[in-house]
Amino acid sequence: MLRIFLDANIYVRLFEVLQFRSLLDTLRDLRPHILVTERIVAEVERTKLTAAKRFFTSQLGKIFVTRAEIPDLLRESVSGDLRKIIRRADTRVRNLNTIRQDVEAVVSATLDAIGENRDPISLELEGLFATAKAPSAAGLNRARDRREQGDPPGKPNNPLGDQIS
């Protein structure tokens, strides 16, 4: 039987893409072939909220450059048509700031949902992660041996979980 092993970062990246639906559909189709370990589940749970927050902050930074206001000097230094333009700009800036506050509230609610596993991605992954395999005692011993012999894959500080798959 074909088995597919995906690194935890692949699952975490689902929280960092603009369009996740087709990726979830693909995972759902491949579910019978995907091997998930308890270590992968723990890593995804530990890092997904931080990844989502970083991604949302980045995206909002592209949409809303800053909280903007029209300086008083511009309002008071011009007359006629320019004053009307400044008033229209001022109204648009206020509207943009209101929209930003609304979007920030949605982001906050979404991050809360991710933290509580109520978002669409976490709910989909829940089914996949329900089949997570625990490492066997023999697998743990082989991983310990590889680490002690100086042959561990993974991170430089040699966390034991990186050797278990």
Residue found by looking up tokens 């800036």 in the block:
93
Sign of CA dihedral 134, 136, 141, 146: negative
Residue found by looking up tokens 């530990």 in the block:
46
Q: What is the mean pLDDT of the chain?
A: 84
Per-residue confidence (pLDDT) for residue 91, from 0 to 100: 83
Per-residue confidence (pLDDT) for residue 111, from 0 to 100: 96
| 156 pLDDT tier (thresholds 50, 70, 90) | low
Cα dihedral 116, 120, 121, 125, rounded to 10, equals: 80
Q: Which residues pair with 133 in a beta bridge?
A: 37
User: How does pLDDT run across 44-88, given as a tens digit for each residue?
Assistant: 999 999 999 999 999 888 776 565 666 777 667 767 777 788 778
Q: Does residue 162 contact residue 155 with C-beta atoms inside 8 Å?
A: yes
What size, in residues, is the chain?
165
Q: How far apart are CA 69 and CA 92, in angstroms?
A: 10
Per-residue confidence (pLDDT) for residue 61, from 0 to 100: 80
| Phi, psi of 132, deg, nearest 5 | -60, 135
Per-residue confidence (pLDDT) for residue 162, from 0 to 100: 52
Q: How far apart are CA 143 and CA 99, in angstroms?
A: 52
Q: Which amino acid is at 85?
A: I
Q: Does residue 89 contact residue 71 with C-beta atoms inside 8 Å?
A: no
| 159 pLDDT tier (thresholds 50, 70, 90) | low
| 149 pLDDT tier (thresholds 50, 70, 90) | confident
Closest CA to 38 of 123, 135, 155, 114: 135
Q: How far apart are CA 105 and CA 56, in angstroms?
A: 12
User: Following DSSP, what letter does each residue of 10-40 receive, concatenated?
Assistant: HHHHGGG-S--HHHHHHHHHHGGGEE-BHHH
Domain residue ranges of the chain, discontinuous segments joined by +: 4-134
